Chain A
């Protein structure tokens, strides 16, 4: 069989290969490859008949298969995240040989060293805010002045007028609800920003999704306990606005690695 090298990411020099306690794609073992004692690539040796480019191209539509490989990739990256620094590589980063990989390690050494230094002890946390429109609609008076005004009128109105005011409330809600959900989600993110070194807002694929905000936060490992405690407070604060906050991590800093201005190898 011919083999290829699957790369999970890059770690600082002199990591202890014998201490690695995780298996990779297809249950393969994990090795470290370096060049001239520089940053090391975290790799598995895979059978090219199972993981060659043509095989992967043909299977990219099979979400279950891709998901299995993704879970194995992330398992390896997460193992290193829990123990030190790693610059993760995207899924399906493949080299034909150690020599080919070492050439890239040589050519990109200063970039790898620079990014490992810049992102030392920093990890990614992901925030996703969804909105339950029924809850937000019910409590909208707390967040939209026009609705608050109508709610006050409804309180003191007679039965017939109350019915008409309720219809008016629905009309205002229909116009304001989506914008309000996005505005409140942004406020929730603002409350977490002081704990992060950097924040990136991630694009939403459509306006009418249940998820109204998606963001990634780059956080110093020492700040994580404070951040986690604060997330709980933010989550409780926005519950009556119908916002549900998914917060996950720590992940490798996938979304904070600087683009290669010199181009890809």
Chain B
């Protein structure tokens, strides 16, 4: 056996990532001593949730586009959007007329 790569250089993952890989992947030739697969599946689900959240959660925040109050306002339907656009246009015209009057003074 010859060493062909500097070991571990790009293996800086957390334990949950390792667990996610080895819990139910690989060459599945179950031994004659069987552990409870239902328990393993539960653990796998738990680990998979951690994998996709724990690393970045502290930096970014969970549920980031649902819980952020800036982006999580109620959905506006088409009629609401149309009304909003009309309001935007009215306000824009009003502002422009004010600016025009100021220029003329």
How far apart are A97's CB and chain B's nearest CB, in angstroms?
8
How far apart are A87's CB and chain B's nearest CB, in angstroms?
4
Contacts of B64 in A (CB 8 A): 133, 208, 210
Find residues 64-123 in chain A having any chain B CB closer than 8 Å to their own CB. 66-67, 70-71, 73-74, 77-79, 82-84, 87-96, 100-101, 104, 108, 112, 115
Contact (Cβ within 8 A) A94 B88: no
A237: CB under 8 A from chain B? no
Q: With A204-B52, A208-B66 in contact, do A87 and B3 touch (Cβ < 8 Å)?
A: no
Contact (Cβ within 8 A) A70 B18: yes
How far apart are A209's CB and chain B's nearest CB, in angstroms?
4
Contacts of B82 in A (CB 8 A): none
Contact (Cβ within 8 A) B26 A74: no
Contact (Cβ within 8 A) A168 B88: yes
> Which of A7, A132, A164 is the one whose CB lies under 8 Å from B60?
A132
A228: CB under 8 A from chain B? yes
A191: CB under 8 A from chain B? no
Contact (Cβ within 8 A) A132 B59: yes
B105: CB under 8 A from chain A? no
Contacts of B34 in A (CB 8 A): 53
How many residues of A are in contact with the other chain, CB < 8 A? Answer: 89
> Which of A10, A90, A208, A246 is the one whose CB lies under 8 Å from B25?
A90
How far apart are A59's CB and chain B's nearest CB, in angstroms?
10
**Residue among B10, B13, B27, B56 with max Cβ neighbours from chain A (10 Å):** B27
Contact (Cβ within 8 A) B95 A93: no
A160: CB under 8 A from chain B? yes
A161: CB under 8 A from chain B? yes
A240: CB under 8 A from chain B? no
B70: CB under 8 A from chain A? yes
Q: How far is the CA of A9 from the CA of B40 in the complex (A)?
A: 19
Contact (Cβ within 8 A) A115 B4: no
How far apart are A229's CB and chain B's nearest CB, in angstroms?
12
A257: CB under 8 A from chain B? yes
Contacts of A87 in B (CB 8 A): 26-27
> Which of A112, A208, A244, A246 is the one whose CB lies under 8 Å from B63?
A208
Contacts of B23 in A (CB 8 A): 70, 90-91
Q: How far is the CA of A53 from the CA of B48 in the complex (A)?
A: 23
Contact (Cβ within 8 A) B55 A246: yes
Q: How far is the CA of A79 from the CA of B4 in the complex (A)?
A: 11
Q: With A16-B1, A206-B52, A228-B10 in contact, do A57 and B36 touch (Cβ < 8 Å)?
A: yes
A141: CB under 8 A from chain B? no
B-contact 0/1 string along A5-41, CB 8 Å cutoff:
1010110000110010000000000000000000000
Contact (Cβ within 8 A) A82 B59: no
How far apart are A84's CB and chain B's nearest CB, in angstroms?
5
Contact (Cβ within 8 A) A173 B71: yes
Contact (Cβ within 8 A) B22 A53: no
> Which of A57, A89, A104, A211 is the one whose CB lies under 8 Å from B56?
A211
A-contact 0/1 string along B64-105, CB 8 Å cutoff:
111010111100100001001100100110011001000000
Q: How far is the CA of A141 from the CA of B17 in the complex (A)?
A: 34
Contacts of B11 in A (CB 8 A): 78, 248-251
Return the 5 tightest CB-CB contacts between A and B, nearest first. A210-B56, A94-B33, A254-B25, A83-B1, A209-B52
